[in-house]
Amino acid sequence: MRAMVYRGPYKIRVEEKDIPAIEHPNDAIVRVTLAAICGSDLHLYHGLMPDTRIGHTFGHEFIGAIHEVGSSVQNLKVGDRVMVPFNIFCGSCWFCRRGLFGNCNNTNANNYAVGAYYGYSHTAGGYDGAQAEYVRVPFADVGPSLIPDWMSDEDAVTLTDACPTGYFGAQCADIVEGDVVIVFGAGPVGLYAAKSAWLMGAGRVIVIDHLDYRLEKAREFAHAETYNFTEYGDIVLEMKKATDFFGADAAIDAVGCEADGSFFQHVTASKLKLQGGGSPVALNWAIDTVRKGGTISVMGGYGPLFSNVKTGDLMNKGITLHTNQTPVKRQWPRLFDHVRNGYLKPSEIVTHRFPLEHINEGYHVFSSKLDGCIKPLVVPTAA
Amino acid sequence: MTVTGPYTAQRPPITESAEQLRERIPGWGADLDPINRPSATRLQWQENTGAHWEFPEQQVERWPRERSVEHRMLPPVFGTAQPPRWLSGAIRKYSYATYSEGRAVRWLLFTLADRVDAVENHLVSFLRLRPDNPITETGVLSEFTHHGLRSRFGQRRADPKHQWLDPVIVAGPWVAAAGVATSGVRKLVGAVRH
Ligand SMILES: NC(=O)c1ccc[n+]([C@@H]2O[C@H](COP(=O)([O-])OP(=O)(O)OC[C@H]3O[C@@H](n4cnc5c(N)ncnc54)[C@H](O)[C@@H]3O)[C@@H](O)[C@H]2O)c1
Ligand SMILES: [Zn+2]
Ligand SMILES: [Zn+2]
- Do residues A114 and A108 make contact, with C-beta atoms less than 8 angstroms apart? yes
Three-state secondary structure call for residue A244 = coil
Within an 8 Å CB–CB cutoff, is residue B30 touching chain A? yes
Which whole number is the average pLDDT over B76-93?
98
- Do residues A202 and A226 make contact, with C-beta atoms less than 8 angstroms apart? no
Quickly state the pLDDT bin for A29 (edges 50, 70, 90): very high
Quickly state the pLDDT bin for B152 (edges 50, 70, 90): confident
Domain A2-161+327-379 fold? Quinone Oxidoreductase; Chain A, domain 1 (3.90.180)
pTM of the entire predicted model = 0.94
C-beta neighbour count of A233 within 10 angstroms? 8
Which whole number is the average pLDDT over A317-340?
98
pLDDT tens per residue across span A185-194: 999 999 999 9
Which whole number is the average pLDDT over A146-155?
98
> CATH number of the domain at A162-323, please?
3.40.50.720
A2-161+327-379 and A162-323: same fold? no
What type of residue is A123?
Answer: T
Nearest CB to B29 within list A8, A53, A201: A201
- For A72, name the nearest residue in chain B, comparing CA atoms only: B52
Which whole number is the average pLDDT over A24-47?
97
pLDDT tens per residue across span B119-137: 999 899 888 878 888 889 9
The domain locations on chain A are 2-161+327-379, 162-323
Which whole number is the average pLDDT over A70-82?
98
The set of protein residues with a Cβ atom below 6 angstroms from ligand 1 is: A 38-40, 42-43, 161-162, 165, 184-190, 208-211, 214, 229, 254-256, 259-261, 281-282, 299-301, 325-326
pLDDT tens per residue across span A240-251: 999 999 999 999
Q: How far is the CA of A99 from the centre of ligand 3 (A)?
A: 9
pLDDT at A382: 66
Least confident of A121-130, A224-233, B4-13: B4-13
pLDDT at A278: 83
Chains A, B: CB contacts under 8 A, how many?
315
Query: Are A338 and B92 within 8 A, CB to CB?
Result: no
C-beta neighbour count of A227 within 10 angstroms? 20
State how far the Cα of A82 lies from the Cα of A76, in Å rounded to an integer: 9
